[in-house]
Amino acid sequence: MRYDWTIDEIEALFELPFNDLMFRAQQAHRAHFDANEVQLSTLLSIKTGGCPEDCKYCPQSSRYNTDVESELLMKKEEVMRAARIARDKGASRFCMGAAWREPKGRAFELVLDMIREVKAMGMEACATLGMLTPEQAAKLKEAGLDYYNHNLDTDPEYYREIISTRSYEDRLDTLKHVRAEGMSVCCGGIVGMGETVRNRAGMIAQLARMNPHPESVPINMLVRVEGTPMEDLDDLDNFEFIRTIAVARITMPASHVRLSAGREVMSEEMQALCFLAGANSIFYGEKLLTTGNQDAENDRALFAKLGIRPEERPTPSSRRLASA
């Protein structure tokens, strides 16, 4: 496993002929995974809107005039009902997202209770709650959290064009706190925000230099939302997105690479190419945090056409074996 990828090396991967890139991605994928299994996660926004950050892509920012209303933290009973539905539909991991700069006070304690309940259902628990202190990371670990999501979004150079209310180092610090507690990291980025191929290579380099690599790497295609500063950007070329999936697979061969935001508008053929490029995880269900997603029935129909199986839900014994 390599942790010393240079930006030049990764940019050279992006420039490979498409068939050669796909072949290399398939080789890397098959060396570490069953090529016909996809891990299913369900994502629920447990606290929507009103975020003080100024991320230019995000409809949840209080700085932009979008259709997303600011809401209070959901009640635990509502969250657990959603988790049970997700489990019964085949999801092995339940992810909870809150539009906070960082968690605070009583709300954080309520989220800890939700994590304990999700774990009691036999599912993996994932959360994305903004920046964390070392003490908060320790409490999440104690509650049983398996994964913490905190995306880098882009590379350090382009980051300042996207966000001004927190630094790149802030993001890296939160990831260090998560790692220090032994939790798994879910960390990826967004493509289609006006960045260059070199910016994309720089983002992948940041992820691929982490030791260990993030266990889960979500690759998001920008969903342009009216009212955000990025609403009028041009669509990213489909092949550029597929190339990003393939490069992530080659450089982080043992990570789950998640086909994330933007999947709602992807054709079956494009999704199939993303799976061929090494994507082996999706968000499963009709909605992400605030944007749409493929219908679960459509996903099951596509899986049947491609001969893809959902990855089996991890059991406590299998998790112990994997960590041994």
Catalytic residues: 51, 55, 58, 95, 126, 186, 258
Other beta carbons within 10 angstroms of residue 150's beta carbon come to 24
Diameter of the chain by CA atoms?
53
How far is the C-alpha of 266 from the C-alpha of 238, rounded, in Å? 9
The full length of the chain comes to 324
With contact defined as beta carbons under 8 Å apart, do 232 and 269 qualify?
no
Q: Crossing angle of helices 268-276/18-32, nearest 10°?
A: 60
Residues 98 and 128 sit within 8 Å (Cβ to Cβ) = yes
> Which contacts of 232-236 are long-range, i.e. CB under 8 A and separated by 24 or more positions?
233/192, 233/193, 233/194, 235/192, 236/191, 236/192
* Collapsed DSSP state (helix, strand, coil) of residue 148: strand
